[in-house]
């Protein structure tokens, strides 16, 4: 199976560099450009809106939106707006967020799993056009419905590392976004968990597995295109549908990775 390939524009790069990265990715034929909402760097939905507006065919993903920071009704409104403006070009991921950061802003939940479950379920139902009433531990909605739900819900993922959160992704979302994969066995185990959870929930179709994987673009630059291709094939064999390359903390710039994918495509 040939996986979909993506590149991360890390928010360690200033937001004014985003347009250049978007235009390079669009011209290079990269499948997807992914954005982070790390505290306290750049907003995921604001950068996604700009990236979508600056491109015509590029699919844009956000991985991830920390659920403690947003009411699910507001999250659904914002996601629905982008999904309607840019049909089939937006992928969104919900997740716990870094718990220490959530504590810094007074939003750390006593039970992050309960919050993520309630929030993901509410957002999915709202995007599906339902009228939602919930009286949960964290989410309270009273007959809330979107006036402008998307014609088709965008791909909704849950960001996960541990098996409990991966299982929740299979149960409630369209799939899972795995963080910082350096071992195909991690993908293989996650594929098994997410597929089992989706089947147990009675939902049709196959769960999607997206894998973030770090690559140092400065290590053997000439061999970078082959490294990307080989590693993507290995993760796909382990069960990844989409492989998303990210620069390292020391070398976050997305441009060398985009250029390497361009070279690889030209040689194919």
- Please tell me the predicted confidence (pLDDT) of residue 262: 85
| Interval 47-99: pLDDT, tens | 999 999 999 999 999 999 999 999 999 999 999 999 999 999 999 999 999 99
In our burial notation (b when 16+ CB lie closer than 10 A, e otherwise), range 75-84 reads bbbbbbbbbe
Rounded to the nearest angstrom, the gap between the alpha carbon of residue 152 and the centroid of all alpha carbons in its chain is 18
Q: Report the pLDDT averaged over residues 14-34.
A: 96
Pair 197, 236: CB distance under 8 Å: no
pTM of the model: 0.96
Nearest to 6 by CA among 72, 97, 91, 80: 91
Peptide bond connecting 64 to the previous residue in cis, omega within 30 degrees of 0: yes
What are 128-145's pLDDT values in tens digits? 999 999 999 999 999 999
Q: Given a cut of 90, is residue 248 above it in pLDDT? A: yes
What domains can you pick out in the chain, each with its CATH number? 4-267 (3.20.20.30)
Token duo for residue 39: 């505290």
For 77, residues 6+ apart whose C-beta sits below 8 A from its C-beta are 146
Classify strands 140-144 and 155-160 as parallel, antiparallel or unpaired.
unpaired
Flag whether pLDDT at 158 surpasses 60: yes
Whole-angstrom CA distances from 61 to 40, 91, 156 are 19, 4, 10
Position 265 confidence tier, pLDDT thresholds 50, 70, 90: low
Q: Which two tokens stand for residue 235?
A: 């993760």
Tell whether the model's pLDDT for residue 268 goes beyond 60: no
Residue with tokens 């993520």: 116
Q: pLDDT per residue over 100-109, tens digit each?
A: 999 999 999 9
Ordered alpha helix ranges (H), the chain? 18-28, 44-53, 72-85, 99-104, 112-127, 163-172, 184-201, 224-238, 255-267
DSSP conformational letter for 105: T
Confidence (pLDDT) at 204? 87
Q: Are 25 and 258 in contact (CB under 8 A)?
A: yes
Tell me how far apart the alpha carbons of residues 52 and 33 are, in angstroms, rounded to a whole number. 10
* pLDDT of res. 267: 60
What is the spatial distance between Cα 209 and Cα 178, in angstroms, rounded to a whole number? 7
Q: Does the structure show a pLDDT above 60 at 25?
A: yes
Cα–Cα distance, 88 to 52 (Å, whole number): 11
């Amino acid at each position: 199976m040939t996986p979909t390939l993506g590149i991360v524009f890390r928010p360690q790069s200033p937001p004014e560099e985003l347009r250049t990265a978007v235009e390079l990715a669009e011209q290079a034929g990269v499948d997807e450009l992914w954005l982070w909402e790390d505290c306290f760097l750049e907003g995921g939905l604001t950068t996604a809106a700009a990236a979508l507006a600056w491109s015509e065919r590029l699919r844009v993903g956000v991985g991830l939106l920390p659920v403690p920071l947003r009411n699910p009704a507001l999250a659904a409104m914002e996601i629905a707006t982008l999904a309607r403006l840019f049909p089939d070009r937006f992928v969104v991921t919900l997740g716990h967020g870094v718990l220490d950061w959530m504590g810094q802003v007074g939003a750390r939940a006593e039970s992050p799993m309960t919050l993520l479950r309630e929030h993901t379920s509410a957002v999915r139902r709202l995007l599906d056009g339902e009228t939602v009433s919930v009286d949960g531990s964290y989410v309270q909605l009273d007959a809330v419905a979107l006036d402008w739900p998307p014609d088709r819900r965008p791909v909704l993922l849950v960001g996960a590392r541990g098996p409990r959160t991966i299982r929740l992704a299979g149960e409630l979302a369209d799939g899972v976004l795995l963080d910082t994969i350096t071992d195909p066995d991690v993908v293989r185990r996650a594929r098994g968990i997410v597929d089992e959870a989706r089947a147990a929930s009675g939902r049709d179709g196959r769960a999607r597995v997206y894998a973030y994987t770090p690559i140092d673009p400065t290590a053997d630059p000439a061999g970078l295109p082959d490294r990307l291709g080989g590693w993507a094939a290995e993760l796909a064999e382990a069960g990844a549908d989409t492989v998303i390359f990210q620069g390292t903390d020391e070398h976050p710039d997305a441009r060398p990775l985009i250029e390497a994918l361009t070279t690889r495509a030209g040689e194919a």
